[in-house]
Structure 1
Amino acid sequence: MSVRELSDKIRKRDRRRTHVRKTIVGTAEKPRMTVFRSNLHLYVQVIDDTLGHTLASVSTMEQQFRSLRATVQTGGVLGEEIGKRLLEKGITQVVFDRNGYKYHGIVKAIADGARKAGIKF
């Protein structure tokens, strides 16, 4: 991939991200669940935008998920784990922020895993 192609890819993702974030705002009752993918790791955070606080998070950087890599199966596992952590805190509904990524593959697996744990979008 050339430098120009990479910069176009990043620019397109930034444009999608700003378009989605215009309408998505997390509150205390319905916080925002955001996803970040790197080449090696996955990160999921649940954020209350009114206070600017992270309510819960999970990533493949944590000790128990260290051996997992960024795959669809790992996305499902992380989705279920963030769902469990949210239910422990009494949060049952979230707004899903795909962070400019297309809604398929790993991003979809995270959302499906959270739904399987009992979180409503």
Structure 2
Amino acid sequence: MRANILKRKLAVRAKRKAGLRAKISGIATRPRVSIFKSNRTIYAQAINDVEATTLCVSDGKVLGLKANKEGATKLGADLADKLKAKNITEVVFDRNGYLYHGVIAEFASSLRENGIKL
């Protein structure tokens, strides 16, 4: 029973993710910022979809952050600093199929507070 619930939950997220990715794409001047969260940590990366390259990465595990709102705020600030170092001030936000609340919303607001336009 429990396995079926997990399969359905993952299938619904995959469907949301596919719908989002069909609509958004990143370029060199305005990369796509994708976020991934697990139960323990969160990761974010800026991607240029035209050349299929990752411009910069921010890893919550390396920074010693947990997958909570505080960790998301610090991760957003770290990624914003790395983006500014590459002279990128505008990005497309890819929430990766997650609902826009909690950790995901906190990460996005942290990027905005640190000068990155979503």
Q: Would you say same fold, with TM above 0.5?
A: yes
Q: Verify: 1:96 aligned to 2:96, yes or no.
A: no
Partner of 2:111: 114
Distance 2:85 2:110 in 1: 16
Report Cα offsets for 1:63-83 as digits up to 9, x if no partner.
xx22x2110111011001101
Deviating beyond 3 angstroms after TM superposition, the runs of 4 or more aligned structure 1 residues are: none
Partner of 1:105: 102
TM-score between the two structures when normalised by the length of structure 1: 0.95
Report Cα offsets for 1:28-72 as digits up to 9, x if no partner.
11100000001111000000000111101101121xx22x21101
Partner of 2:16: 16
TM-score between the two structures when normalised by the length of structure 2: 0.97
Aligned 1:32-71 pairs, distance under 5 A: 32-62=32-62, 65-66=63-64, 68-71=65-68
**Can you give the 5+ residue segments of structure 2 that lack an aligned partner in the other structure?**
none
Distance 2:27 2:66 in 1: 31
* Partner-residue secondary structure (3-state), 2:61: coil
Give 2:20's aligned amino acid: V
CA RMSD, aligned part only?
0.9
* Matched positions, count: 118
